[in-house]
Amino acid sequence: MGTYQIEWKKSALRELKRLDRQVVPRVVAAVESLSSQPLPSVTF
């Protein structure tokens, strides 16, 4: 499987700015990880 490019919408970037600064790196890392594995297994 190839890799994909993540394109951030302006509205998504605005929403990131509203989040707590400690959470932002985790959100960005999770979204960026989707470029190499777009259908991750979800565990609850």
Which pLDDT tens digit goes with each residue over 8-29?
Answer: 999 999 999 999 999 999 999 9
Q: Would you say residue 39 has pLDDT above 80?
A: yes
How many contiguous H segments (helices) and E segments (strands) does the chain have? Answer: 2, 0
Where does the pLDDT of residue 1 fall: very low under 50, low under 70, confident under 90, or very high at 90 and above? low
Decide which of 39 and 11 is more confident. Answer: 11
CA 7 to chain centre: 10
Find where tokens 């790196």 sit.
25
- What pTM was estimated for this model as a whole? 0.75
